Structure 1
Amino acid sequence: MTIKSVKQIHTFPDEIQSMMETFKDMVNYCIRIGISENISNLNKFSSLHYKDLSQFNIQSYYKLTAMSQAMGRLAQRKKDMKKGRIVKSPYISKPYLVSCYGFKITGMLLSFPMYHGDKFLVRLDSHTMSQLENAEPRSFVITPDSVSISVRKQVEQIIPENVIGIDRNLRNITISTPNQTVMYKTSKLLSIKENMSHVISSFKRFDVRKKKHFQKRLGNRRARRIQQHLHKISKDIISRAVQSKSMIVLEDIKCIRKLYRKGNGQGTKYRRRLNSWSFYELQRQIQYKAEWEGIPVGFIDPKRTSQLCPICGERLQEDRFHRRKLLCNNCKRSIDRDVVASMNISYKGWSRFCHPRGLLVEAVNGNLENFRPVILQVDGSKLVETRK
């Protein structure tokens, strides 16, 4: 069973805004009681304090959800404290409303209960309706400017016949498919981040409140632009995987930030550029989209993916005249280092997940004597979404 959320922009009237404020206060009230009495279990809390929520003028549907939200936050807080992590405040600062009871989707209308048994209707757009096809709505979340619907559907995982290896870099994303190698250019993301950093640093007003508001507004705009750019790339990758019945393999680079910490002998601009690299956002989008389509996703060790020849398995040498090229003295061929990495990731994934016999060199050596990679370069910002 696969679950995802569909978000739609929508502005709500003052009456619904007051319900959001009431729900926020109710969740914070439950959190205060849970902290004071050391309760993080929903059944225990509801049996002791459900009657105390009668002071809030809101439907009982939302009281059950508020207790669930509060106990979930306290349970996560307790886990973080046991593991020695930095514990954030569990209290909620922004108004919202969530429930899995009492709502209904009829045609293009979402209805959920208000005060005194009335119903509020939200008209769903065409994109939201397309995502709700063949899916079961489970819950909804509304904020002052959006509505999100959680849906789930039964997905049968495909049996992969091929492997797509993905190499994530600062200026491009390279994938190795069964037929060709595709390189998505992401240099535009660097320019977006650099331009935003210069604009934020040029803010000269001494009002801290105004400065924080300015930084937050530009930071959100930067995040939206980057997310939309990566959305187009991840959507194209998933469509290729569905067409070729391939599983997706990525490098496990979750600890790469440790290489760019302060004091490692690197410049400030270099560390800023590498620490703002959105490698995990692409991974997150690929994972949830692949899960929705039934495509398996695997991770391999990134060790020596850019050092071994994908044709013969020998160690590659750097080209003095072309810094992005790697030369194989055995094959007498020069290949782009990102293409080499994506091909080796694909071969590692094939030998580990689809054909788990022998080493990588044994699986590759001698099988690609006449291979010449066909490299398709794509500007990720110019990928066009087609709608029916």
Structure 2
Amino acid sequence: MKDGARMIPRTLFNSEHDDFRKTVRRFIAEEIMPHHERWEEQQHVDRAIWNRAGELGFLCNTMPEQYGGAGTDRLYSVIMMEELSAAGASGIGFNLHTDIVANYINNFGNETQKKQWLPKMATGELVGAIAMTEPGTGSDLQGVKTRAVKDGDDYVINGSKIFITNGYLCDLVVVVAKTGDSGEGAKDMSLIVVEADRAGFSKGKPLKKVGMHAQDTCELFFKDVRVPQTNLLGPKEGMGFIMLMQELAWERLIIAIISVSGAEAALRHTLEYTRNRKVFGKTVASFQNSRFKLAEMKAEIAIGQVFVDRCIEQVLKRKLGVDAAATAKYWCSDMMSRVIDECVQLHGGYGYMMEYPIAKAYIDSRAQRIYGGTNEIMKELISRTL
């Protein structure tokens, strides 16, 4: 971070990563941010930005080359997450597409499935989503009611999902559905890929959210949707919960990564504002209260960054624990909210005006403490390891 706000240098990235970061930063500045306000008004990004990202190699770059990726390490994904968050580009769903949906297919799909979907996801021809949450379930994944019933060589799927990121523009969805009746929720769940052009599959209009207005979050409906049984991910039915648990740690770390980067950006904006804004003939930054608040924020961000970087190291070694990921998600998203709230206060009345980046950060950041499992659920997961 510029302006001396980063007190401990990061050691994760090499010169190739740094070059990639510069390229991503330029892409965001030139091809995303000039359109973001318009996307917020229409409640989704233009479909063309997905194709452009694919053309530049920004989608699914961690996937193996034989499936259209570049075979890069996850640090390239981290860079994309950090730069999008730092820019306030909250409408872009690349991270979920690349680092969650594609991972499920790559890690649990068979060779036919990987060749069928991953190359088109890498080019942006297919936009991916994952459908977990339902109107009555929230963070309780074992309580899903969407059901897939075998009929001949197909599954017939009925149910609905809500709060689905990339839902409005998606071309395929990894659906969490019940396929069994054992009474043990975890053993009855499966993951099934549903293409958006299947009969009976429909999308609601983008939901009107408090923030993240350009993100095409919507409800999905399944009414007698038929998909071949070959669309099942994993070796057999009933493996859905196990697969979800294997990937959720990374998903939660993604939220922590975004949170630290977003908090850092908020501090950067606030440093600039308080150094220029004068009150009673003095800059806001010159008052002791302001200096102390800025110092507190700098310290919290540094603490969060060090822990997140350590977790990223564990991801690269495939050793990230559920409790560490839950800790990172809960603490960093809470920290981001604290930091941004203080930053709004230091902006005074202007902090409540949407023309200032800090106001947009204020409404966009609140969801971090909810999705990926609420922070209360994160504490429950951590408590189980005590």
TM-score after normalising by structure 1: 0.24
TM-score after normalising by structure 2: 0.25
More strand as a share of residues: 1
More helix as a share of residues: 2
Larger-Rg structure: 1
